[in-house]
Amino acid sequence: MARMIYAIATMDTKGEEIAFVAQQARQAGTHVLTVDVGTSQPPVVTPDIPRERVAACHPAGAPAALGHTDRGQAVSAMSAALVAFLKAEHDAGKLGGVIGLGGSGGTALIAPALRALPIGLPKLLVSTVASGNTAPYVGCCDLTLMYSVVDVAGLNRVSREVLANAAHAIAGMVTGARPTVGRKPTLGMTMFGVTTPCVTAVRQALEARGFDCLVFHATGTGGQAMEKLVASGLIDGVLDITTTEVADEVVGGVFPAGPERFDAILERRIPYVMSLGALDMVNFGARDTVPPAFRERKLHVHNPQVTLMRTTPAENRQFARWIAGKLNRSQAPLILLIPERGVSAIDAPGQPFHDPEADAALFDELERAVQPTPTRQICRLRHHINDPEFARALVEAYFELAQATTVPGTSA
């Protein structure tokens, strides 16, 4: 059976428009099903997939997704149902691509379901709010937003042009030929400016062994993007060298990892090497944006837009417990390497964040809190994170894990 484009809208208010999109995409040679996610009035055009079928996928059953009188509750409930519905359709091999239409409410309803789909699956959303702050809708996935220019309210001279372009765009994404270059085993790595020498050495060593290395800037969204690719099955192993996002998550910096950091990696059970890069710092914006409670702390202006705050022993113990709470649930082999002589370029003798007492609090608490098992190793090394010897140890640790878990491309 040919995979379908699912064309989604609240068809009580956007039925005519989504039907036009479906017609245009069919004329481009694709198979299309319209999906109704309306929450109030009956659809103005009969959908191929009615809202009741979508609602039945809500984790609490159809009644939880239908019948709300409050619009906000209705949108949230139907959005949760749509996430589950599209996941089931994708898992069944039916989904070739998705296009949605919406105003502010429809965009808020449809976008989470598109974000939940794997990276690489074509997904496009025509929206009235696509020209402002789009981060809440796109997140860290490859969702394409197209600004509707006029409201999605009827077919007119402008909306026909925009919607036809959107229909042909999704059709092209679905039918276009994919690259045929052979796939190398792919690794994810996390980096900050203060861990660049280490990550660069690791990357070069692994690329020389035939790996495709994806480096992510550890700015909150960087870690989330890496884990999205892991969850999508596009990353075969991870060297999480720079876990600084935990510090911002716990203390309240501007680059938080989010509460789900590490979860996708551990759930996928892929080879996982972790270290503690840049856990000596919490990130804020320009110096005058540092919260008043922290202005008397040890600060370092990294550049005019980024101010770093040195972490304390108490905070470092919190980070250790946060990390341990994740690692203690791991089922697959992992190795945590601790660089005892410093975790960043500015955590070294003569540098502004050199603080052996604070580092020791992090290292000691990790050893206390992480429950060791035959497959969960912690190794302390008498190296700085940017020492060449530490980079070599990371590479060796990865091969030790990869060979044990039969990841492709890991022969010595």
- Write the pLDDT tens digit of every residue in 196-205: 999 999 999 9
Least confident of 120-134, 153-167, 179-193, 245-259: 179-193
| Residue that terminates a domain, selected from 151, 175, 199 | 175
* Rounded-to-integer distance, Cα 72 and Cα 74, Å: 5
101 and 158 belong to one structural domain: yes
What pLDDT does residue 407 have? 53
Q: What is the CATH number of the domain that holds 264?
A: 3.40.50.12030
Residue 133 sits in a domain of what CATH number?
3.40.50.12020
Residues 278 and 383 grouped into a single domain: yes
Residue 36, pLDDT score: 97
Rg, C-alpha atoms of the chain: 24
Q: Is residue 166 part of a domain?
A: yes
Q: Are residues 247 and 194 in the same domain?
A: yes
* 278 shares a domain with 247: yes
Confidence of residue 321 (pLDDT cuts 50, 70, 90): very high
Q: Are residues 118 and 221 in the same domain?
A: no
**Closest C-alpha to 251, from 293, 298, 306, 302:** 293
Is 17 part of any domain?
Answer: yes
Burial class (CB in 10 A: 0-12, 13-18, 19+), 182: exposed
The answer to the question of residue 387 being in a domain is: yes
pLDDT in tens, 128-172: 999 888 888 898 889 999 999 999 989 999 999 999 999 999 999
Residues 137 and 199 occupy one common structural domain? no
pLDDT of the residue at 411: 46
CB-side neighbour CA atoms (13 Å) of 98: 32
Question: What is the pTM assigned to this prediction?
Answer: 0.79
Q: List CB contacts of 350: < 8 A, sequence separation 6 or more.
A: none
d(CA 99, CA 76): 19
pLDDT digits (tens, 9 = 90+) for 59-116: 999 998 887 888 889 899 999 999 999 999 999 999 999 999 999 999 999 999 999 9
Q: Are strands 281-284 and 306-310 parallel, antiparallel or unpaired?
A: antiparallel
Query: What pLDDT shows up at residue 180?
Result: 61
Is residue 410 one of the residues assigned to a domain?
no
pLDDT exceeds 90 at position 183: no
Rounded Cα distance, 10 and 35, in Å: 8
- DSSP-derived secondary structure for 215-262: EEE-SSHHHHHHHHHHHTT--SEEEE---THHHHHHHT-SS---TTTT
Q: According to the model, what pLDDT value does residue 10 have?
A: 95
> Does residue 177 have a pLDDT over 80?
no
Burial of 238 (0-12, 13-18, 19+ CB in 10 A): buried
Rounded CA separation 330/405 (Å):
14
Task: Kindly state whether residues 138 and 278 are assigned to the same domain.
Answer: no
Residues 150 and 230 in one domain: no
- Please give the average per-residue pLDDT across 334-347, as a whole number: 97
Helices (H) and strands (E) in the chain, counts: 13, 14
Once rounded to an integer, what is the mean pLDDT over residues 210-220? 94
Predicted local confidence at residue 2, as pLDDT: 64
Overall average pLDDT of the 307-315 stretch:
97
How many structural domains compose the chain? 2
CB 297 within 8 A of CB 220: no
408 pLDDT more than 70: no
Strand partners, 339: 381
Segments of 255-340 assigned E as strands: 272-274, 281-284, 299-303, 306-310, 334-339
Q: What is the mean pLDDT of residues 246-253?
A: 96
Note whether 241 and 94 are same-domain residues: no
Element (H, E) at 32: strand 32-36
Q: Are residues 204 and 135 in the same domain?
A: no
Q: Look at residue 135 in the predicted model and tell me its pLDDT.
A: 85
Query: Where a domain ends, among 140, 156, 175?
Result: 175
Judgement on whether residues 98 and 156 belong to the same structural domain of the protein: yes
191 and 150, same domain (yes or no): no
pLDDT 10s digits, 4-22: 999 999 999 999 999 999 9
Residue 368: which H helix or E strand, with range? helix 356-369
For residues 371-379, average pLDDT: 93
**Residue 9 located in a structural domain:** yes
Q: How far apart (Å, rounded) are the C-alpha atoms in residues 73 and 67? A: 10
373 secondary structure, DSSP code: B
- Give the pLDDT score at 181: 57
Report percent pLDDT > 70 for the chain: 97
User: Taking the alpha carbons of 208, 385, 282, 369 in that order, is the dihedral positive or negative?
Assistant: positive
Q: Which domain holds residue 355?
A: 186-404
Degrees, nearest 5: CA angle 313-318-319: 95
User: What pLDDT, on the 0 to 100 scale, is given for residue 131?
Assistant: 86
Query: Is residue 37 within 8 Å of residue 9, measured between CB atoms?
Result: yes
Inside any domain, residue 44: yes
Answer yes or no: is 409 within a domain.
no
| CA atoms of 268 and 371, how far apart (whole Å) | 20
Has residue 410 got a pLDDT over 60? no
4 burial level (CB within 10 Å; 0-12, 13-18, 19+): buried
Considering the chain, what is the average pLDDT of its residues? 93
3-state helix, strand, coil in the chain (%, to 5): 40, 20, 40
Last residue of a domain, one of 127, 154, 175: 175
Range 323-331 average pLDDT? 95
197 domain residue, yes or no: yes
